[in-house]
Structure 1
């Protein structure tokens, strides 16, 4: 039975993975946490369903390779250029400061400098999967805290490659001289550069030939061959599988087949990644956790506090307000999934083992578990706190205007609104939280200033007391609610328009006295509704009336699940009634030169041509002898079904040419 042990272990892991994914989906928590806990429970220190992780670790290594490959595949130079300031400044500062502070603290405790630096690397990384999941669930991906969190996370994901290159140097058995360190670094980066150049030349050509075979199975196997082959090449050069996979991802990201590659590889990645995270959980010694509870609690709290303070300071340094700095700080305070990748690689060089490894695993798992709680608590606490001190605004004094529109947020919606207001002569002022946006548009003459709209002082600076309308064009639900409540307190008569993403947020915002809530989800559905009715030739005034009814009732009809009488009950009556439609005659249509009698729409489809618009002149009640010319506009009348048949017939004539 020993030879079937590996199959048994896989069956156990997959049997555990399915309910874990379902349960954590229901709890709105990232499944990574569930996989780690599952590994602890079924592992050799838990229920002992899996006594050894030797077989699993081999498959988990494939999971790491595919994880690094997808990071490379999602690497976008254009995206990094757009967020270059946050990416370079905030990312470098956060990772650098964390490594320095943690290395210093461990050095004081007697840990050797290479090991202390390695521990700093492990703690400096945060969980991209967990943080992005929470940001998406809270609809804060486009909010300021979302943008800066994503920038820092991308930097962390990419910095792991140089970190892994550094591992052989940090784990060297003998102390290296400066020249030896420089030589090893040059060799490592040189090897990566050579592989990158060779891969850039050969991989696209190989991929094209594989795709040209037009056999899906060959394409999938070929992609796996390119990924694992590049990973194996870097491993033979003394680097690691992960670096090779990352290089393969970068190269394939530039190909025309990148979307198909993602579709083919994603299922493999998800399956193998679950094995990876469960295999990490298998290594956690529960008896170690029970033996040193106070020390481990201190370590977990220490990591959260140190990372939160460092990230808080970095976010303030890049000129975001304290509220955003606090949310970002606690949001990125956990240890990330790539720290596990780094820890496993570091273990091969003797940089972490034994009690340190168990302490690292414990701290990682519990900081991940604490993240959703910390972020929710931060929102609750911050909603009741007003930060004191002078706001760093790009404005001096209050804005002396009245009966104006206050635009909160200067993204696409805010810019479009400002453009219309400017053209119509309606005064407005913009409050924006991105300092770069403020400086750029202030130079262009926009009436814009920097500030956190959740503060009473900022709303006062926008002269909210004498404003007529406030428009929230931001993707930050919590900030919107706080600011909306303040705005209504300072000016009960102000008309508040709120943009939101989901219909589920309408009722909540109405409780905060929003006068109009515009959900993107429903506006999209109304556009679809509009286009469908136009296709069925429903008169424009009827369409506009239906749209107006739906908006006037705050979209209640579209939100109801039960069948009730609704504003569209008389659509069938409208369809049975007559209407007028216009058909344009192309010069290639075979009806050009034919008389109305020859076409004979009345006999064929029961539609009458009541007028012809030709060269700006209207021929009313045209006789059957009139011949049609190119560019004529035929005014058709009949019921909806008949007009549809007439247009179909006339279009068929055009298509036959």
Structure 2
């Protein structure tokens, strides 16, 4: 299953489910929970190493607000739907949890960017997932202490908090020092990671805490006797609608009302369109404790498989989905802000439009200033808005796929558009502009460069080639004796200076 996932470039989590279902036919039921505990220990370990506490600080306030609002509203609606179906409050609660929480393990599989670029929606998405993962952990601890236990066990909550505090202490006080000495040795790093996993399992067992079980185990558990009842299908459809449609739209609406542009709002919402691993943990623990109705359990597992597979597609085609939704007026209907973050001089003409202030826009801005050329910046990152307002005379905050943005930027009066965004769908939107104004776009592959030139781009910025040509020319001059060592060093420094520094 993993070979298939790797070959097709798909998220591995749905394939854990499929592999578990296939393996279940050959594994004795008495071994299921032991196997599940070890399997999920490594899944939780993956969750832990993806947590970026430092990145969470920059977007923490809005992420916590969005995560809590989305989880609260969707869980309440799904809980109400469960009660309407005739479920008791506990099983309706399981339905609400499954609908509200999304999976960081699925989302991070397609949010990782090999080029190191960090678009706004990725930072927001990871922070929102972090918030929801913490909610999932709290729900797991709460159910273990108050639902599965014969009597309320407040000490389990305290011990769980202690384990998190211990983990953070190890992260900041011990682990970095160990890794610095190991110098990235992969074998030793792997053994070190496994040691921490086993150690924390031992601590959890000693404290009588529940070790959550996950996707692989869920597939195994349902393999022998999966009842495809109409009741289960009804619950599954409810979850799928809530997760694939309600979650993304609700998150997009909240972000738009918080001042984000439509593209960032939609792309962030599309990362929350799958059942959380923690929802599977909770469902399987409840199943083992005989605390969940079988049709509800079946629905959660089936919805997880469906939404995780769909999430792989939406993650890969999020840009195209955003443009499709914009063309059909959905983003305008949700209420996209534009005018309150726009400043354009009435006399502006023959100007250079710079797309993406963060990834090189400042350099182009300085170069145009040195040449006394008027400029306008188009940006969709609200974190940079204050810097843009201080450094730029003309700017438009918004999505490059929005025609209104280009009207405000006075595209038809411009002399040139320079797009420095590393994101393919934003570059594509610039290339496809219906205008005779010259357009220069950034690419990260020669195939993309050829495609964009055929589609109407007037120039290509390929950072790797530019860097290679500069370094190659300087090295050639140094080796042939046409350039001194001091001159070589000075040229290297000059590449990082702006025209205004000279």
Q: After superposition, where does 1:518-529 map in structure 2 within 5 Å?
A: 518-526=461-469, 529=472
Q: Quick check: 373-382 or 453-462, which moved more?
A: 373-382
Residue in structure 1 matched with residue 15 of structure 2 by the alignment: 34
Match of 1:229 in 2: 199
1:213 Cα deviation from its structure 2 partner: 12
Map of 1:508 onto structure 2: 451
Partner of 1:392: 337
The alpha-carbon deviation at position 535 of structure 1 amounts to 5.5
More RCO (CA 8 Å, sep 6+): 2
Q: Matches of 1:58 and 1:69 in 2, distance apart?
A: 17
- Counterpart position of 1:59: 35
1:335 Cα offset (Å):
0.9
- What do the CA deviations read for 1:29-48 (whole angstroms, capped 9, x no partner)? 1122223223334533xxxx
- Cα deviation for residue 362 of structure 1 reads 0.9
Query: C-alpha separation between the residues in 2 aligned to 1:120 and 1:325?
Result: 23
Query: Could you tell me how far apart the structure 2 residues matched to 1:467 and 1:83 are?
Result: 34
Contact 1:307 1:333 in 2 (8 A): yes
**Structure 1 gap segments, 5+ residues each:** 1-19, 45-49, 243-272, 538-578, 585-657
Equivalent position to 2:369, from 419, 422, 425? 422
C-alpha separation in 1, matches of 2:180 and 2:9: 39
State how 1:370-409 maps to structure 2 within 5 Å.
370-374=310-314, 376=317, 378-379=321-322, 381-382=324-325, 384-386=327-329, 388=332, 391-393=336-338, 394-395=340-341, 398-400=344-346, 401-409=348-356
Q: Residue in 2 aligned with 1:334?
A: 274
Q: Take 2:2 and 2:124, find their aligned partners in 1: how far apart are those partners?
A: 28
1:517 lines up with 2:441 in the alignment: no
CA RMSD of aligned residues (A): 3.9
Query: 1:388, CA displacement in angstroms?
Result: 4.3
5+ unaligned residues in a row in structure 2: which ranges? 487-502
Report if aligned partners of 2:120, 2:264 keep a CA contact under 8 Å in 1.
yes
Structure with higher helix content: 2
Q: Does 1:499 align with 2:442?
A: yes
Distance in 2 of aligned mates of 1:332 and 1:536: 54
Once residues 278 and 464 of structure 2 are traced to their aligned partners in structure 1, the CA distance between those partners, rounded to angstroms, is 35
Aligned positions, number: 475
User: How do 1:225-264 residues align onto structure 2 when only pairs under 5 Å count?
Assistant: 225-241=195-211
Counterpart Cα distance in 2 of 1:150 and 1:205: 25
Query: What is the match of residue 91 of structure 1?
Result: 67
Residue number in structure 2 paired with 1:158: 134
Aligned partner of 2:228 in structure 1 is 289
Q: Distance in 1 between matches of 2:112 and 2:255?
A: 21
Q: 1:321 and 1:282 mapped to 2: Cα distance?
A: 43
Structure with max Cα Rg: 1
State which drifts further: 435-444 or 399-408: 435-444
Distance 1:205 1:395 in 2: 45
For residue 153 of structure 1, report the CA deviation from its aligned partner.
2.0
Q: Does 1:437 pair with 2:387? A: no
Q: Closer, same or farther in 2 for the Cα pair 1:415/1:501, shift >3 Å?
A: same
* Residue range with higher mean Cα deviation, 23-32 or 516-525: 516-525
Residues 236 and 379 of structure 1, relative CA distance in 2, 3 Å threshold: same
Partners of 1:165 and 1:356 in 2: how far apart?
21
